Every structure is written in C-alpha cells, then in structure tokens.
Amino acid sequence: MKQLYTLTSLCLLFVCLVGATLSSCTGRSGSAQSADSTLAEGTQDPNGPLDWDSIVVSTTYFDNQVARKGSSVEVELYFRYPTNDSALLKAVSGAFFGETYANMSPKEATEHYLREVRSEYLFGADSLGFSAKELEDMKSEMTLSNHITYHDNHIITMQKDVYTYSAGAAHGLPATGNYTFDRKSKDVISEGDLFIDGYGPELNKILQRALIKEFGRKSAQEMESKDGIYAADLTSNDNFRLDDKGMTYTYNPYEIAPFAIGIIEVFIPYEEVRQLLRPQSIIFNYIQP
C-alpha cells in the first residue's frame, strides 16, 4: 500500500483554534454543485453517486488572540470530503491531514490539527527571548486545500496543494501531493500496485524521456545546462495521479530542480508503461487490448 504523501515537513500549519469558524458547503459528484471533475460521460458508477461536503477556514491567528498581538499566521484551509462513503472518507482524511487523523470526523480532525499546529508554531516573548516588537513582525502564511481532479467507477483522484511561509524565511514553499483511490478497496494506489517487480530503472527512463521531450530538449545534459533541471537524476517518487489518459508525476521544489523552477509535472500516456504493468493493474481498464 502506498505511503501517504503527507508532506509533513511542509504541511505543519501555523494556526490556533480559538475563534476559528468552520464553514461548509455541499455538492454531489457529477452535479452542477460540484466544482471538481465529474464522472466520465456515459459511465455508470456501480458504487453510486458520491456526496461531498467542505470545511473552510479563512482567518488570521495570533499568539495573543484576544488582543490580536504577537506572532501570527494567516490561514486558508479548504478540505473537501465524501459524506456517504465512510471507508473513502477515512482514506481521504488520512491523505489530507495524516494517517493519525483518519478515524476522526472531518470537523474533529480539523480542530485537532489546528490545535496541534498552534502549540507548535505560535509562541510568546518568554519562550524564545524575542521582544514584543520582534514578535509583531513574525507573520507566517499557510494555505492547504484539496480537490478531485478525476473520478469514474474505478478510481478517484485527489490533489492536495500546500503553501507555507514561515516568519523570517527567505521565501514561501509550495508543494503538491497526489492520491488516487481504488473505488473498491478505498486504498491509495501505489506504484507497487501498478507495476511488476523491478520496474524502477525502466520507469525512470520513461520519466526522463518524457521530461526532456516536454521541455523541448535533446538530452539530460542540455536540460541541466539550459533549464537547471537535473533530468538525469529523475526517479519515480510515488507522487502521481491517474486519470483515463495516463499518469502525471509531480516533483516539488528542490526535488529535481532549484526552487525558482517551481513545481514540475511529467505526464506519461498509459501505453508508455504497458510493458511494466502487473496483470491485475487497474490501468488496464484504460488501455485498449
């Protein structure tokens, strides 16, 4: 089973719970109310339609919340989750917040998460020796959200986007995590679920070729010299999402390139990996015999 890509070092939110307002909005997948991808046209979902709800937090928290003074963080959090599939809800919550939150209700998980990060990141003058004036300048930012990029009767694909800026840092840090859930098992699909043993070296070559082609270069050496991207070091990282056309790998800042390059995505059509697939791989649902 895939290790959930929790982005732990990136996702620790700098917030406090006091005064937080959790608002919600509902929608059924495939309906006009849903802002996410819809079921493929003409497809019958044997699992039935999914109902969705959302928790939204948009506020600024302070170490001294009453006086609104001290270290602070501006928070934007959007958590979209299914309401009529308890097993899928558990998987989605675990992917969004972390595995320790999987068995909590969405509201409980959100509140617990906010309490935990408040104790981690908001601090007063006595704790680290900063003056009141110095604390006033310690302003952090955090955005955390998810959305459904694709779903049908076989899979549901979720993308989680994170942006954090820690007070005093040179710049903020964006990151994306991808999760494709098997509709039957509700598990997050991993590379090991899709590919035969020993797939790594060949998959890495496929990824490298796709990246070089996408940037219009002729070789990994040319890409490194002209774009600053280390294509020769590119390896699969299990951070991928599936749809009906292929798989998209995401590489966050510093994984294969300097921060200034940003987030890099590499798309691979399913036919490119056909020879690496396990006989029971879910990808065969999207490949012509």
> How far is the C-alpha of 211 from the C-alpha of 261, rounded, in Å?
14
Cα 103 versus chain centre, distance: 19
Q: What's residue 115's pLDDT?
A: 82
Q: Say if residue 11's pLDDT is above 70.
A: no
Q: What's residue 127's pLDDT?
A: 60
pLDDT band at 13 (very low <50, low <70, confident <90, very high): very low
Greater confidence, 18 or 124? 124
Closest CA to 83 of 48, 115, 58: 48
Query: Per-residue DSSP letters for 86-99?
Result: HHHHHHHHHHHH-G
Q: What's residue 31's pLDDT?
A: 35
CB 153 within 8 A of CB 43: yes
Q: Full-prediction pTM beyond 0.85?
A: no
Scanning the structure block, which residue is given the tokens 């928070």? 75
Q: What domains, with CATH codes, occur in the chain?
A: 8-189 (3.30.565.40), 192-286 (3.90.640.20)
Q: What is the number of helices (H) and of strands (E) in the chain?
A: 8, 9
pLDDT band at 167 (very low <50, low <70, confident <90, very high): confident
> How far is the C-alpha of 155 from the C-alpha of 199, rounded, in Å?
22
SS3 for 133? helix
pLDDT in tens, 234-288: 999 999 999 999 999 999 999 999 999 999 999 999 999 999 999 999 999 999 8
> How far is the C-alpha of 118 from the C-alpha of 112, rounded, in Å?
10
For residue 277, the 8-state DSSP code is B
pLDDT band at 24 (very low <50, low <70, confident <90, very high): low
Q: What's residue 207's pLDDT?
A: 98
pLDDT in tens, 78-93: 999 999 999 999 999 9
β-bridge mates for residue 64, sequence order = 69
Q: What's residue 128's pLDDT?
A: 66
Residues in Cβ contact with 145 at an 8 Å cutoff, skipping those fewer than 6 apart: 76, 77, 78, 79, 160, 161
Give φ, ψ of 55 to 5 degrees. -110, 130
Q: Say if residue 38's pLDDT is above 50.
A: no
Supply 204's token pair: 């890495």
Q: What's residue 162's pLDDT?
A: 94
pLDDT band at 147 (very low <50, low <70, confident <90, very high): very high
Q: What's residue 45's pLDDT?
A: 53
Mean pLDDT of 196-219: 96
Name all contacts of 200-206 with Cβ < 8 Å and 24+ positions apart: 200/235, 200/236, 202/275, 202/276, 203/236, 203/273, 203/276, 204/234, 204/235, 204/236, 206/268, 206/272, 206/273
Q: Say if residue 165's pLDDT is above 50.
A: yes
Mean pLDDT of 62-89: 92
